[in-house]
Amino acid sequence: MEEMKLVSAIQTFESIFDEAGIDASHEASLYYLASIYYTPVSFTEMYRKTKRIRKSISERALRNGRNALMDNGLIAQALFVHGSDTKFGTEPYLPVNPRIVVEVYTEYLKDIYSDEDFSIRNRDVEELHGIWMENFGRYGIGIEKGSVTLHYADTWVMYNLLGIMDRFENATISMMLGETDVFKEVYKAYYNHIIQQGSKIRAIIDRNDEAKDVKRLKMEYGDKIEVKYIPREDYGTCRQIFFDHDWALDGMEILLSDRSGPSCIGTIYIREKDSIALLRNNFENIWRIHSPC
């Protein structure tokens, strides 16, 4: 990817991050693009490369950009619970799919850029997406089979899910996400995409105040979505997502006193039949004994 195109892509994501209310949007966009384009490298090497694009940036500013991306779910941190893994280098962060980020903010980008400029920027993002695919694979975590343990924010999961929907047509997606506002209007595009692919959704929530959003979804999607309200006491801080028997996220919410920053630690399993079966058994036991909302 030519440096001029890289600069253009940085500007595109800086605009998006500004609209999303992300602090240090320029530094965040620099780190985001560098984490896709230069991985796997050390932070020192990444800093050296980003200085070629913005000479005035400091190490502290680049770290602030990285922290802002973590807090807002644009990157997740791989945790080496089973020893080090060289494929992630010494800067083990997993950026979300750039194509998905742009798709979510397409209308905003069309408002601020001319048709010609938007078309050029979109082509640059597609080239960046190709690099992302080479470095992180179709599941966004650098593997096609196995498991990776992560520290992440809820938004990272949402972007990751949307990015892998095409891999699981006609699947049953089962989710136990607790008080995450997964049914708010802002995520409507996610559910439209899932259901248009022929999939069904089963979701466990622990908040009665989402009833209006649940009712809206039931009216719109009918038997394509089933939701159960289950008190948190029945499953604690557990957070789980399943795509049939092929993909699973088994996580735990971290109870932060100030409610800021990434709030979950979890493991993604891909084509790990025995592990996924064991985890699904836990979900099914909870699901079976409760009635739909």
Please report, for the chain, the start and end positions of each structural domain, with discontinuous segments joined by +.
3-75+93-136, 146-288
Per the CATH hierarchy, to which homologous superfamily does domain 146-288 belong?
Endonuclease Chain A (3.30.870.10)
d(CA 69, CA 28): 6
Taking only the tens place, the pLDDT of each residue in 16-53 is 999 999 989 999 999 999 999 998 889 999 999 999 99
| For residue 186, pLDDT beyond 70 | no
Residues 7-12, mean pLDDT to the nearest whole number: 93
Most confident range, picked from 50-59, 83-92, 252-261: 50-59
Residues 157-176, mean pLDDT to the nearest whole number: 83
CB 88, CB 36: distance < 8 Å:
no
At 292, the pLDDT band (50, 70, 90 cuts) reads confident
Residues 75-102, mean pLDDT to the nearest whole number: 82
CB 57, CB 30: distance < 8 Å:
yes
Share of the chain above pLDDT 70, in %: 87
pLDDT of residue 286: 87
At 148, the pLDDT band (50, 70, 90 cuts) reads very high
pLDDT of residue 185: 67
pLDDT of residue 183: 66
At 162, the pLDDT band (50, 70, 90 cuts) reads confident
HSE, side-chain direction, 13 A CA sphere, residue 60: 0
Between 13-22, 61-70, 145-154, 178-187, the lowest mean confidence (pLDDT) is in 178-187
Which phi and psi angles does 150 have, rounded to 5°?
-135, 155
Of 210 and 247, more confident: 247
pLDDT of residue 88: 65
pLDDT of residue 250: 96
| For residue 276, pLDDT beyond 80 | yes
d(CA 10, CA 7): 5
At 255, the pLDDT band (50, 70, 90 cuts) reads confident
Burial code (b: 16+ CB inside 10 Å, e: under 16) for 234-254 equals: ebeebbbbbbeebbbbbbebe
pLDDT of residue 178: 64
| For residue 210, pLDDT beyond 70 | no
| For residue 116, pLDDT beyond 60 | yes
104: nearest Cα among 195, 197, 17, 202:
17
Residues 230-256, mean pLDDT to the nearest whole number: 85
